Each structure stands twice: as structure tokens, then as C-alpha cells.
Structure 1
Amino acid sequence: MKDTLCPVARSQAVIGDRWAVLIVRELFMGNRRFDTLLAQSQATPQMLSARLKRLEADGMILRKRYMDKPPRYEYELTEMGRAFYPVILALREWGETWCKSRGEDIAVRYTHLTCGHDAGVGTVCQSCGKPLRRSDLKAELSPSYARERAARQDAAKAQKSA
């Protein structure tokens, strides 16, 4: 998107669809392999493959071979990709505030390792006020979100073996 100086439009050109954001979310959650990314993003294999290639071409991720026979790859965030974490936190905060049913639990609670307290749902720690970085957070999934993620993984395994 070189035809505009608008940083929002340029950012949208790199990370501007649901699948790209979900892939990056999964990489931040520690999932690096195609099958897990496929199960948790719920993209089609073709969609996931296309988005991974685009994220790699745009400099957000690196593809690394972890097995030679057959060739298998995993993905990791680059410096550019890791710099996207505040955006993930902002989307999380907005979603926790505006996109939940009454009574739903917070999907992921973070402990801020820097101060040892609950980080809250924003981009800065609600306890100490420092900006949040993924490496400074310990995640705990709510039981319902953990079950949802496990069910997706189990469904993907069942589909693969069928």
C-alpha cells in the first residue's frame, strides 16, 4: 500500500484480515506449527497457507524447518511481528469490554511478572502502570476458554484421522 502515507491503511495492508490477526495471536500463545495454527484459527488449509506466506513476505513471521523427512516447518514472530503485541492487547481489551455476554469470564488472565499482580485487560498493567510485553506476562486461560481451545484441537485431530 505504497500509494498512501496513511499508517492505518499501510498497517491494514499487512495485517488487515481476521486470519492474519488470529495467526499472530496463536504465535503469541506459543503455537508455531501448521496443524495447531489450523485448528485454533479455524481457517481452511489453503487460507492458512496463503496467510502464512503473506505474513512471511511482509516481514511479520519467519518460517523455519524443524524436520527434514518429510519437510516440516514452524513459524515464529520477527521483531516486526513481536511489535504487534500492543495491538493484540488493545483488541483483547476492546473485545472483553464490548463483545461479551453478561456473566462471561475473562478468557485469559495475565499475571504481570514484573510486579507479580493481575495485569488487567489493557495495554498497561492495572497494578503498576507499566506497558505490557508478552515476555513479562504469565497467561492463565479461563476454564471455559481452555475447553473451547481443547475442543478445537480434538476436532482437528479427529478430522485428520478420519
Structure 2
Amino acid sequence: MAVKKSSPETLCPIARAEDIVGDRWTVLVLRELFMRNHRYDEIQAQTGGTPQMVAARLKSLESDGMVERRPYNERPLRYEYHLTAKGEAFYSVVLALRAWGETWCKSEAEELAVRYTHRTCGHLAGLGPLCEYCGELLRREELVSEPSPAYVQERQARREAFKEK
């Protein structure tokens, strides 16, 4: 199941980007890679995608140069998936989706799913793209994430449900 490229040939950078990352499953796979989950089983468990869907998205991201496979086991041969520089550059888009989702897609009573501390200044970073304390551009390598207890529980429940399958 390959991910189809649907845009006609165009100079539009939005249409070109959408060809690569324009579906829910691809963005969720990228979210997991940004959360430093590199193994196929964990990516599948946390996205909830079918094996075919996750495999197709990883293969497509690899062919588009956003992800690279690295062997971690020889017998049987198993791979981990890691972001390339091109994949890492998508982080600002993930931060923007997170900010929009936190602002517009949940009730005011819900806490942030993940709080980020900006290592550079030592304060909470806010929703970005700039640190709400020091004003610097947020970079993944400069952020310490602290998932809320509810989000930790949600992710653990997905992991356990996946193991039971």
C-alpha cells in the first residue's frame, strides 16, 4: 500500500509538501519519531495504524528523504527509523499543529498534553514557535518534554492494548 502522490505538477510549495506529509497517518508517524520512538512496533502501537498503513508511511517517508532505516538486529534483521535533516526540519510544523490543537481542539478544563521546558533559559516554553519566556526560536534539541500524567496513561494504555493483540 504505497502512499499516492496526488498533486499535479505544480510550483506551489504547499501542494508539494502536502504530497509528502498530507495525511493523518504520516503526521502521526512523524510525531512518534519526534518523540524518539524509533521501532516499528512502538510507532504502530502509538499511531493506531494498521501494519500496512504504518509500513507504507515509513517507506514513503524514507523514499522522500525524511526518514532513514538503521539496522538494530541482525538475526532476524530488524530496523529502527530515524529522522534525517529533512525530517528534523518538519519539527516547526509539528509544533504549529500542537499549538493549534492545544488552543482550538480541546476544552479549557484539559491541561496541556505535554509541557516543554526550554533548556536555554530554563523556563516553560509555551506553545511556540518562540519561547514565551525568552523569545528564542524553539528547537527540538533545546526542549525537555514532560507529558501530563493523563497523556502518559493514554500512551501506556495504547502500548498495553497493542501487546495484547
Fold conserved (TM > 0.5)? yes
Q: Within 5 Å, which residues of 2 pair with 1:97-112?
A: 97-112=103-118
Alignment equivalent of 2:53, drawn from 40, 47, 71: 47
Cα displacement (A) at 1:101: 1.8
* Matches for 1:48-127 after TM superposition, within 5 Å: 48-127=54-133
Q: Does 1:17 align with 2:23?
A: yes
Aligned to 1:150: 156
Matched residue type, 1:27: L
C-alpha distance in structure 2 between counterparts of 1:22 and 1:124, whole Å: 23
Q: Distance in 2 between matches of 1:94 and 1:19?
A: 18
Runs of 4+ in structure 1 displaced over 3 angstroms?
none
Cα displacement string for residues 89-139 of structure 1 (whole angstroms, at most 9, x for unaligned residues): 000000000000230010000000000000001211000010101100000
- 1:2–1:10 Cα contact (<8 Å) kept: no
CA distance in 1, matches of 2:108, 2:97: 19
Question: Once the two structures are aligned, what percentage of the paired residues are identical?
Answer: 58
User: Match for residue 145 of structure 2?
Assistant: 139
- 2:118 partner letter: H
Q: Distance in 1 between matches of 2:35 and 2:53?
A: 20
Contact 1:14-1:58 within 8 A present in 2 as well: yes
Separation (CA, whole Å) in 1 of partners of 2:98 and 2:56: 25
Residue segments in structure 1 that go unaligned for 5+ positions in a row: none
TM-score normalised by L of structure 2? 0.94
Give 1:33's aligned amino acid: R
Give me the whole-angstrom Cα distance separating, in 1, the residues matched to 2:47 and 2:36.
13
CA RMSD, 1 decimal:
0.8
Q: CA deviation at 1:2?
A: 6.8
Where in structure 2 are there 5+ consecutive unaligned residues?
1-6
Q: Please give the alpha-carbon distance, in whole angstroms, between the structure 2 residues aligned to 1:103 and 1:131.
A: 28
For 2:17 and 2:64, the matched residues in 1 are separated by: 11
